[in-house]
Structure 1
C-alpha cells in the first residue's frame, strides 16, 4: 500500500490535499503544529476512507524538527511514494514593524523546512518506479509584494528551488512539481493578521481548498512543473512580467498596505 506525507495538514489546502490522496487510498502521514485540528482531520479521513492515518504534532521551525520527522516516518519508507511540502505561512505588515524573530520563523518554515524535507526524502522516493514531490509556492512568487514581503520572497525561492530541483531530477523516477495557489478560503488571512480591507479584496477571488487540492493532485500525477489553479490566478502569475516592476509593486502595495479603519488608529503587527 502506498503512503503519502503531507505537512501543514490540519486544515486548509493541506487537509484538502490529504483528503484527495485518501480518496485514492493512500495511507497518510500528516504533520502540523495545530494538534487539535490535526487529530480531528486524521480521525475524519480515517473513518471516511477506511485508511490508516498517522499524525505528528510538530513545529517545522523548531530545532531538531527534521531529524524527528525523519525518524517518525522511517517505518514507512518502503511505501512512501508521495511527499507534499504544504506547510507555510506569512504575516501582513511593514518589514520594519514586524519583529525579526517572526520573520525569521517564516523563512524557517517556508524555506528551510521545505529544502530540508526535500533533501531527506529524495533518497526515499528514489526507491520506487514512480514517485512524486510537491512543494507549495504561491502566485506571490511571480512578483514583489510589499507588506507581504518576506512571505512572497520565500515563495519566489520555493518556485525557483522546485524548478531547479525538477531539472536536476528530470531523468529520475521522481516527478517534482510546484503548486502556486492564489487567494484560497483558508485560515491564512487570520494567521497573516490581514486587515478587513485586504480580506474583502481576497474574498472576491477565493477558491475553495478542495478545488485547489483536486487541481494540485491532478497536476502532480500528470507531471506538471507548475500548477496554478484557476484562470484568475493564472493571469496573476502571467501578467506581471509584461508591466514595469514599479507599477506591479504599487498595485500589490495598494492591496496589502495596512490602512486605518473608520478613522481610528491602525495598530501595526508587532
Structure 2
C-alpha cells in the first residue's frame, strides 16, 4: 500500500516517550502523520526527521490539550486542511505524584482534563471522520495503574481506569462499524513520566521494571492493527495485573504505596 492510499494517523503527545516512538513505528510503515504536542520546537524537529528518513507527509499542531477548547481546535484544524484521518492515537497524558490532600488541585484537575476529557472529546469529534475510512482505528493508551488503586498516584490511576472502561464500552458500541478500538496498558516505561509527575523518590524496585519506549510502541501498533481489545505488554506487567484480581486489595495497595512511596 502506498502512502497516497493510507490515511493520516493523529498522535497526541507525539513529541516524547511512547508517542514519539509510535510516530517512528508508523512512519516506517509509510503512514502520514499528524503530530500534536505542546512544544512546537520538538514537534518541528521530529517532523523534519520523519520526513527526511521515511519520506512521509507530516503536519504538526503545537497546542496545550489541557485547555478547554483544545480538542475542538484540533478537530477544526483537521477539517480546514481536509486531512483524511484513519487512525486516532490518544497518547497524551501525565501524572501528579504525592498525597492527594497536599497536592495542587489545579494540577490534579489539569491532569484529569488531559488524561480523560481529551480522550473522550477527540474520540467523539473524530469518529465521523474515521468512519469515512474502509478500516479505521482508535488506540487509547492507558496504564497498568488502571487495574488498581495507587496511593500517591490516586487521581492518575483513577483516570487510567476511566480510560480502560471507556475504551471497553466504545469498542463494543463500534463493533459493527469500520472502527476498531484498542486499549493498550503499559507498566513503567523509560520516558519522562516520572520527572513530569514529580517522582523524584522513585525507588530502584520500580525503575528496574522499565520497558523501553521503542519496544512498547511496536507492541502497541501491532495490537492496534491486530484489532486487539485490550493489551498489557510484558510478562511482569501481565502477572501484576492478574495478581490484582486474586490478591486482597489492601495488600496490593500497600505494595503499590511502597513502590511509589514519598
Cα deviation, residue 36, structure 1: 2.3
Q: Which moved more, 1:124-133 or 1:200-209?
A: 200-209
Which residue matches 2:225?
A: 221
Which residue matches 1:62?
A: 67
Which residue matches 1:108?
A: 113
Q: Is the 8 A contact 2:34 2:60 kept in 1?
A: yes
Q: Is the 8 A contact 1:77 1:124 kept in 2?
A: no
Q: Write the mapping of 1:96-245 to structure 2, written as runs, cut at 5 A.
A: 96-196=101-201, 198-245=202-249
Where in structure 1 are there 5+ consecutive unaligned residues?
A: 259-270
CA distance in 2, matches of 1:70, 1:26: 20
> What's the secondary structure of 1:146's corresponding residue?
coil
Aligned residue pairs: how many?
257
Which residue matches 1:254?
A: 258
User: Match for 1:20 among 22, 25, 37?
Assistant: 25
Q: Which runs of 4+ in 1 moved over 3 A?
A: 75-78
> What's the secondary structure of 2:180's corresponding residue?
strand
Q: Is the 8 A contact 1:81 1:131 kept in 2?
A: yes
Cα deviation, residue 257, structure 1: 2.1
Aligned CA RMSD, in angstroms, stands at 1.2
Where in structure 2 are there 5+ consecutive unaligned residues?
A: none
Question: 1:92 aligned to 2:97?
Answer: yes
CA distance in 1, matches of 2:83, 2:11: 17
| CA distance 1:8–1:78, change in 2 (3 Å) | closer
After superposition, what is the alpha-carbon deviation per residue over 1:222-243, rounded to whole angstroms, capped at 9, x for unaligned?
A: 0000121111111122211101
Which residue matches 1:262?
A: none
Q: Which moved more, 1:183-192 or 1:224-233?
A: 224-233
Task: Name the TM-score, length of structure 2 as normaliser.
Answer: 0.95
Task: Name the TM-score, length of structure 1 as normaliser.
Answer: 0.92
| CA distance 1:38–1:247, change in 2 (3 Å) | same
> What's the secondary structure of 1:88's corresponding residue?
coil
